[in-house]
Amino acid sequence: MRIGGTTSASGITQNPSQAYLQSWNFTIERELPGGTSIEMDYRGSKGTHLIKRYDVNQPLRNQESFLSEDGFRRPIPGWNGINFYNTGSNSNCNAANISWRKRSRGGMFWRVNYSFSKSIDDSSRTNGGGATDFANALDSRNLSLERGRSTWDRRHVFTAAGSYRLPFGRGRRWGRGWGTTTDAVFGGWQLSGTYTSYAGSPFTVTTANVSLNLGDSQRPHRLRSGYQPDDLSLGAIRGSDYAFFDTAALERVPACVAADGDTPAYCPPGAFAHGNAGRNILDGPGLLSANIALSKNFQIREGMRLQLRIESFNLINRTNFIMTNQFRQFNGVGGGPRIFQYAIKLRF
């Protein structure tokens, strides 16, 4: 490596600490009439000495240096960016869960779960990045600005699964085997399904076409919550037909104007400030999916069974958007459209 003003470097804190996780939980379970039971629990965890990468040699950009045209000074002269890995980050997560379930009896069972949780950290990934997180640090001299919801945080999660053996189409059984071929083809019909609903994961709003040397900030100022009211127009889709969040609730940090001929450089009040919009402040699109299956078993003979199965994925044909790093909209789609699938299985 050379010291010449054009060299970047990487480093790690001296005597780095080993990351570790502490977790705890408390559960109450109660049996109810009808073969059902309810379970409630609390779960918590704390991560310590997580790794965070940031530029320890981040330029000292300010109005005085810009107007004097002396350039922006770095804390360690002669070097450009220095990617520094520090083990000083931490996380904590708290979750409450409730589950109601019925044991399989009379050809029926179900399980319904709901979870309410919140996870906070200042480093969900070593170097941030990804489609929704914020890479490195907005201000390497004030890492507390990165404290926010974890990138994978899902505030509300609801899941359900069940199965019901339909009360028709059952054959008769004689002794240890089946009596006739006609009796053998009768099997049980079974209806089963799953339902999943997740709240959206958080994302960080960043400024488009940012110019740090002119006093811009990678994150804007937040004027109000930023959550977008629903557009009740027929067929309007949030994130596709209109902005996913309220862009008027966010304001770009003022930028300077460079000198141009006889016009001197000028900086409006507030230039070179760090935007007060935090990391992971808004929720992205949620996910909702329902799958269903209808199956029938045909007992051919002892030890041999034929199963006919009809399945539908994303039964309600809901559009589930994928998080992207676009400023105004979410155009990626995940999960696919409604799908029907037919299958025949022979088990022996």
DSSP 209-275: T--GGGT--SS-EE-S--BPPP--STT--BTTTB-SB-GGGEEPPP--B--BTTBPPB--TTTTPPP
Q: What is the mean pLDDT of residues 289-312?
A: 88
Whether 328 has a pLDDT exceeding 70, the answer reads no
> Residue 260 has what pLDDT?
86
Whether 5 has a pLDDT exceeding 60, the answer reads no
Q: Are 321 and 285 in contact (CB under 8 A)?
A: yes
> Cα angle at 23 between 117 and 30, to 5 degrees?
65
> Residue 118 has what pLDDT?
96
Percent share of the chain, pLDDT over 90: 47
Pairwise CA distance, residues 333 & 331, whole Å: 6
Q: What is the DSSP letter of 65?
A: H
Dihedral over Cα of 168, 174, 178, 180: its sign: negative
More confident residue, 288 or 241: 288
More confident residue, 299 or 246: 246
Whether 83 has a pLDDT exceeding 60, the answer reads yes
Whether 182 has a pLDDT exceeding 60, the answer reads no
The pLDDT-based confidence of 185 (bands split at 50, 70, 90) is very low
Within 10 angstroms of residue 175's Cβ, the number of other Cβ atoms is: 6
Tokens 């409630």 -> residue:
40
Whether 290 has a pLDDT exceeding 60, the answer reads yes
Residues whose CB is less than 8 angstroms from the CB of residue 116 and which lie 6 or more positions away in sequence, other chains included: 95, 96, 97, 155, 156
Q: What is the mean pLDDT of the chain?
A: 84
Q: Are 197 and 288 in contact (CB under 8 A)?
A: yes
Whether 177 has a pLDDT exceeding 80, the answer reads no
pLDDT in tens, 6-16: 577 888 888 88
